[in-house]
Structure 1
Amino acid sequence: MKPVDFEIPVGWGHIAGKAWGKPNTGFPVLCVHGIQDNAGTFDRLIPLLPKRFYWVAIDLPGHGHSSPFEDGHPIEFTHLVYSLKRVVDHFMWTKFYVMGHSLGAQLCTFFSGIYPDLVVKAVFLDGLIPSTTPSDEYAKALCHKFDQYHAAEKALSQKTAPSYSRSDAIKRLIKNRPSMITNESAKALIKRSLAVSGDGFRYSTDQRFKLLPLPLITLNQCLNLLQSIKCQCLLIIAQDSLEKMKKNTLPMSYYSETAIKAMEMFPNFTYKVIPGQHDVHLNDPKSVAALVIPFLEDTQSSL
C-alpha cells in the first residue's frame, strides 16, 4: 500500500496526514501518534496490517506537516481531542476504529469515552491514560502550568531555532529519545519532523509540546471516563515500559496499574505485554502486527 498525503482545513490552519488504502470501501482506522512525533510513527506498522482497512494517520496540531495552534495561550489536552473530532467530521465517519501510540493512545482513550457510539474498536500502543492531579493540588498545578507556558513563550520569542544537517538531526532524535529507537525508526519519524532552515534543517514540531499538555484532572475523573467506553479495546504494553511503571520511573504516565485494573473489569478489554521498549511498534512492528491483526479481524476480538 502506497500512502497518500492529505490536508484538512481548520480554523487555525490545517491538519495534515497520510492515508493507506481505499477511502470509499475500506473500513476506517484513525491512527494517532505520540508527543513530538508525527504520522510517520506508523510507517513501518501499517504496511503489515490488513489492506481491507482505510488507514488514516494524522499529524497532530504543531507536529509533522500540521499547523500549530495559535500563539498566546496554553495548549490543552482537550484541544488535541477536539482535533481528532475535526478529522472524523471531515471524513464524515459514523463508525470507525482508532489506534494510538503513547499520547495518541491517551487521546484515543478520551475520544472513545466522549464519543462511545462512534468508536467500534480501539488499539492502545503503550499508552492508556494521562497523568492525573489530586483534587487538593489542582490550583497549585494550574498555577505551575501557567508559569511554565509564560516562561516558554518568552524564551521561544528570544531565540532562533538551530539548524542541522539531516544526518545530525537523526542522531539528535535518537540521542534525545526517552527510550531506545533504531536508526531505521528514526528515519521514519524524521521525514515529517524537519523544515528547511538556511543550508540545513530545523525541527518543525511546536516546542510548546515539550511542556506535556496533559489534562489537569483527577484519577477518579479518568476512571469515570474509562467506564464510558463501549468499544472493544486492546492495550499492548512494552515490557520495558511496564518495568519502569512499576519502579515509577516512566518519563510520563503512559498508563497506570490502577487504570489497567479498572479496564480488566470490562468484558471487552484485553492487554498483552510484549518484549521491547516504548517505541516497539516502530522498532519491531512485526511483533505488534501479530497482536493487532487478530484483534481487528476477529469479530469476538479474543486473542
Structure 2
Amino acid sequence: MQETHYKLPHITLSALVQGEAGLPPVLALHGWLDNAASFRALARHLPQVHLIAVDFAGHGFSQHRPKGVPYYLWDNVSDIMALADHLGLERFHLLGHSMGASVCSLIASLFPERVLSVSLIDGVAPLTDEPGDLPKLMALAMQQYQRVAQKRQVGYSRFEDAIEARMQGRFPLPDQVSAVALLKRALTMRDQRWYWHTDPRLRLASILRLSNAQVQSLLKHIQAPVLVCLAENGIATEVTYSLIKLVPNHRIDVKAGQHHFHMKNETAAQLACLINEHITTATR
C-alpha cells in the first residue's frame, strides 16, 4: 500500500492506497484510536478494487483538529465527503470497522446517491445518549476538555513497551504484527522516548451524541446494500442486531474472533471473499 496525503480546504488527511484508479473505488474507514494500517491484512485479499484506507482526523498521520475544536463523529462524515469530492469520486463503496462502520452508515444515510455498497466490520451505528442524560454528560465532557491540556505524556523508553500496552488494551489485537502495523502510524520518537501522536482529545467523552431515535431514523434511510460482518466475540449486542434490522437491504455474517478479527490473516481472507462478492454484485 502506498502512503498518500490529501490536502483538503480545511484539513490534510493521510491514507494508504492500493490498486489502480480505474478499479471500483473503496473508501476504508478504521476504528477509534486505530488508523489506516488496520486494513493491511484485508488489502492483500482485495486486489480487484482501488482501496483508499484513510486516517481519520487526529489519527495516524492525518492532521489534528484545531485547539478548542471537539471531535464529533459527523465531522468525519464531512471530511470523507470532502475527500471523495477531491478525488472526483461521484459514487464509491464504503468499508468500515467499528467507529469507521458508524461513519459509513452515516454517509450512506445522508448521501445515498453517492454510495454503491457498504461493508461493515464489527460495528453498525454510532453510540447514543438518552436526552435526559444530556446535561450531566455534556458538563462532564466539557470539564475533561478543560483538563486535557494540563496532562503530560510520559512516553515509552522502548517501542516494545508500547506494543505490549496496545496488545493489552480495551480491544486486544490478534498478534504483535497487527500491533506493530498500527503503532508505526501512531508513535513518534522524541528525546529518546516514544510518544503517541494520536490526538489525546480523542480519548475524551463526547460532548454531544445522537439519540437512539435519531440513529434509528438514519439507518432506515440507507439505500445501498449493506454487508455486516460481526465477530463472534466482538462488540455486538442485542441492540446491535435490533439496529441492523432497521437497514432496508442488509445481510449478516458472523465469523470467529474478537473485535479486530479483520487484522488476522486467516479471517481477513474469509472477510475479503464476502466483501469482494458484495462489491461485485453492487457494481453490476
Category of TM-score, reference length = shorter chain: over 0.9
Give deviations 1:17-52, integer Å, cap 9, x for gaps.
1110112x1111000000111100001111112x23
Aligned to 1:30: 27
Retained in 2: the 8 A contact 1:12–1:70? no
Q: Does 1:295 find its partner at 2:267?
A: no
Retained in 1: the 8 A contact 2:155–2:193? no
Query: 2:98, 2:78 → 1: CA distance?
Result: 17
Give deviations 1:214-250, integer Å, cap 9, x for gaps.
85111111011111111010010101026x625xxxx
Q: Which amino acid aligns with 1:286?
A: A
Query: 1:63, 1:105 → 2: CA distance?
Result: 16
Q: Does 1:15 find its partner at 2:13?
A: yes
Tell me: CA distance 1:80–1:212, structure 2 relative to 1, closer, same or farther (3 Å): farther
Q: Does 1:189 find its partner at 2:185?
A: no
Q: Which amino acid aligns with 1:259?
A: L
Q: TM-score, normalised by structure 2?
A: 0.92
Q: Does 1:4 find its partner at 2:2?
A: yes
Q: Does 1:141 find its partner at 2:125?
A: no
Query: For structure 2, which runs of at least 5 residues remain unmatched after alignment?
Result: none
Tell me: CA distance 1:299–1:38, structure 2 relative to 1, closer, same or farther (3 Å): closer
Matches within 5 A, 1:48-127: 48-49=45-46, 51-127=47-123
Matched residue SS, 2:12: strand
Q: Does 1:270 find its partner at 2:251?
A: yes
Aligned to 1:282: 263
Tell me: CA distance 1:77–1:300, structure 2 relative to 1, closer, same or farther (3 Å): closer
Amino-acid identity (%): 25
Retained in 1: the 8 A contact 2:105–2:219? yes
Tell me: CA distance 1:20–1:103, structure 2 relative to 1, closer, same or farther (3 Å): same
Aligned-residue offset at 1:172? 1.5
Q: TM-score, normalised by structure 1?
A: 0.87
Query: 1:297, 1:124 → 2: CA distance?
Result: 16
Aligned to 2:161: 168
Aligned to 2:37: 40
Q: Give the alignment's Cα RMSD to 1 decimal.
A: 2.0
More displaced 10-residue stretch of structure 1: 87-96 or 163-172:
163-172
Aligned-residue offset at 1:291? 1.9
Aligned-residue offset at 1:204? 1.3
Q: Which runs of 4+ in 1 moved over 6 A?
A: none
Give deviations 1:133-153, integer Å, cap 9, x for gaps.
222222332222212222223
Aligned-residue offset at 1:300? 9.0
Matched residue SS, 2:25: strand
Retained in 2: the 8 A contact 1:12–1:69? no
Aligned-residue offset at 1:13? 4.3
Matched residue SS, 1:45: helix
Retained in 1: the 8 A contact 2:116–2:282? no
Query: 1:39, 1:32 → 2: CA distance?
Result: 7
Aligned-residue offset at 1:12? 5.2
Q: Does 1:227 find its partner at 2:216?
A: no
Tell me: CA distance 1:13–1:195, structure 2 relative to 1, closer, same or farther (3 Å): farther
Matched residue SS, 1:44: helix
Aligned-residue offset at 1:127? 0.5
Query: 2:205, 2:254 → 1: CA distance?
Result: 25
More displaced 10-residue stretch of structure 1: 139-148 or 190-199:
139-148
Query: 2:282, 2:76 → 1: CA distance?
Result: 30
Query: 1:103, 1:298 → 2: CA distance?
Result: 25
Aligned-residue offset at 1:212? 5.0
Matched residue SS, 2:195: strand
Give deviations 1:262-296, integer Å, cap 9, x for gaps.
23xx2x21111111100000023122223212212
Residue correspondences, number: 282
Q: Does 1:260 find its partner at 2:254?
A: no
